[in-house]
Structures are given as C-alpha cells and as structure tokens.
C-alpha cells in the first residue's frame, strides 16, 4: 500500500458492526459501505456484501470479538460500533431452561458490554459513537418473551449509564429501539414445545403467533438502519431513539399509563 492509499484509508470513517449478516445489522452494513465507510462485520455468518470485511465469531464465547475490534481499529481507526446481535426465546418463566436464558443474555447484553469495553480504548483517542440495537420490548412487555424484553431493558440502562461515563471523552452511546421489524429474526426465535410449556402451551402459541404477525407486518429493517446511520452522523445523537411515530407513541403511553392498564392492553395485543 502506498502513502496516498494509506492516507485515504485513514480519512475514511470506520465502523464495526456486530451481527451484520442479516436483518437490521446487514442493512446497516450496506448503508455504511455505500456511503464510503470502512466496515467490519462480526458474526457467526458472513455478511453477503463484497465491500464488508468479515470476521466469523460468536459474541457469546471467547475473545474473538476483541481480536476483530482491535484489528479493525489498528487498520482503519474506529469511529463507530453498532451492536445488532440478538437472540430470542419464547418460553414460560416457570419452565425456562437456565442454559437458554443465560445464552440469551450472553448474546443480547453481555456481548454488547464486552464489545463496548473492547472499543472504548480506541475511541477515546478521537471520540466515537456506539449504537446498541434495543427493542420497544424493553419498555412494553412481551408475554413469554420475558428474557428478551429484560435484556433489551438492560441495554437501555447501559446506554444511559455509559453516556455519563464516556461523554467527557467524546464518546456517545445511543440505544435504538425498533418495534416490530420484518426480518428472519421472527423465524429464528427459539420456541419451546407444547410438552415443555405444559399448562402454558396455548397461551404461548397465541403470543408467539401475535408477535410474529406484529413483526412481519412491521417496519422494514432498512428503515431502522437509516435511523442508525443518522445517529452515527449526528453531531448530538440522542441517548434513546425510538424508531417510528407509532412506536414513539406506544413507548410514551406505556410510561404514563397505570401499570394495570398497560398490562390489560398488553394481554389484548398478544391474545392472552
């Protein structure tokens, strides 16, 4: 590489996207590379875009993400981290398996936390932006998806806490909250069997069907990715960004309504 090429690469903004092989993460990768960013994707499956540098790793295990983030920062610098990896399971609290909900939190929360810890030392050199892809489910409970909702609520608080610590170093953290989004995530959800769910089986099946319909009739992942891009290019990004007017209204209503009324509406939404 000659000096001019090296200088050109240094001037390009650089991002690491965790979970960029499909859905919201994939659309985010596409937007960034099409607008001149150097992008590294970290996921178990490759991002099918020739302009994206791929590192195959499981964020729930080992230090592969550390190596990928460090190499990307050393090669191109690091302006942004987008954490879009996620796992969902539909199961009653009473019968949920410890191995399942521990794995869920490893992917949804602890993977995000570790990725931030790996990225922060590089960003402190010149500032940067971190986006955590949360969910409206972190504010509005989803029956039988309690572990997913809990992990996304934890991401929201992590974003708030991180800003208090990192803003003095020029680093901002935003939790982006989509509502139902039409991706293959719907079909990757781990749904417990009727035998596993026992007396809850009918209620679980109704809730899963209602959630699937809500997701597949919801916004496109490209719409969420555009919001993420706006955060990454904003001079003053918000700490929490809810995607879409309808979702904003739902989140606001859930915060001002009495809990019992919220619960009744929630039951009706998910056919309980």
pLDDT in tens, 189-213: 999 999 999 999 999 999 999 999 9
Instruction: Tell me how far apart the alpha carbons of residues 112 and 133 are, in angstroms, rounded to a whole number.
Output: 9
Four-residue CA torsion sign, 195, 200, 204, 206: positive
Cα of first residue to Cα of last residue in the chain, in angstroms, is 62
Q: DSSP assignment, residue 107?
A: I
Check the CA dihedral 160-162-167-172 and report its sign.
negative
- Hey, how many other C-beta atoms are within 10 angstroms of the C-beta on 245? 8
Structure tokens that stand for 230 in this block: 């706006």
Q: Half-sphere exposure of 157 toward its Cβ, with a 13 Å CA cutoff?
A: 9
Q: What is the pLDDT of residues 140-198, one digit of tens each?
A: 889 999 999 999 999 999 999 999 999 999 999 999 999 999 999 999 999 999 999 99
Length of the chain equals 272
Predicted local confidence at residue 2, as pLDDT: 43
Q: What is the pLDDT of residue 160?
A: 97
SS3 15: strand
Residue 174 CB coordination number (10 Å): 25
Please give the C-alpha separations between residue 125 and each of 113, 115, 140, 154, 159, in angstroms, as whole numbers. Answer: 20, 17, 38, 27, 20
What whole-number distance in Å separates Cα of residue 21 and Cα of residue 49? 9
CATH class given for the domain over 11-269: alpha beta
**In the structure encoding, which two tokens stand for residue 211, read together?**
């959630």
Cβ atoms of residues 186 and 216 within 8 Å: yes
pLDDT band at 124 (very low <50, low <70, confident <90, very high): very high
H or E segment to which residue 69 belongs: helix 64-76
- pTM, full prediction: 0.92
- Locus of tokens 């170093």: 169
Model confidence band, residue 67 (pLDDT cutoffs 50, 70, 90): confident
């Amino acid at each position: 590489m000659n000096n001019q090429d090296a200088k050109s690469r240094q001037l390009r903004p650089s991002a690491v996207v965790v979970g960029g092989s499909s859905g919201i993460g994939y659309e985010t990768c596409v937007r960034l590379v099409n607008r001149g960013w150097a992008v590294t994707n970290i996921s178990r499956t490759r991002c099918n875009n020739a302009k994206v540098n791929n590192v195959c790793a499981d964020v729930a295990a080992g230090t592969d993400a550390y190596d990928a983030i460090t190499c990307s920062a050393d090669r191109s610098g690091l302006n942004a981290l987008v954490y879009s990896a996620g796992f969902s399971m539909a199961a009653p609290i009473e019968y949920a398996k410890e191995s399942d909900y521990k794995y869920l939190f490893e992917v949804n929360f602890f993977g995000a936390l570790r990725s931030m810890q790996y990225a922060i030392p590089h960003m402190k050199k010149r500032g940067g932006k971190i986006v955590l892809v949360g969910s409206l489910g972190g504010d509005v409970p989803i029956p039988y998806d309690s572990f997913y909702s809990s992990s996304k609520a934890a991401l929201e608080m992590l974003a708030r806490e991180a800003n208090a610590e990192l803003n003095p170093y020029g680093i901002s953290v935003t939790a982006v909250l989509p509502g139902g989004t039409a991706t293959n995530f719907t079909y990757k959800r781990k749904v417990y069997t009727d035998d596993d769910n026992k007396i809850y089986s009918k209620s679980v099946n109704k809730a899963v069907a209602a959630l699937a319909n809500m997701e597949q009739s919801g916004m496109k992942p490209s719409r969420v990715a555009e919001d993420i891009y706006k955060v990454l290019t904003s001079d003053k990004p918000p700490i929490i960004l809810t995607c879409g007017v309808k979702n904003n209204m739902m989140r606001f209503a859930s915060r001002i309504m009495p809990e019992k009324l919220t619960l009744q509406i929630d039951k009706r939404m998910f056919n309980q």
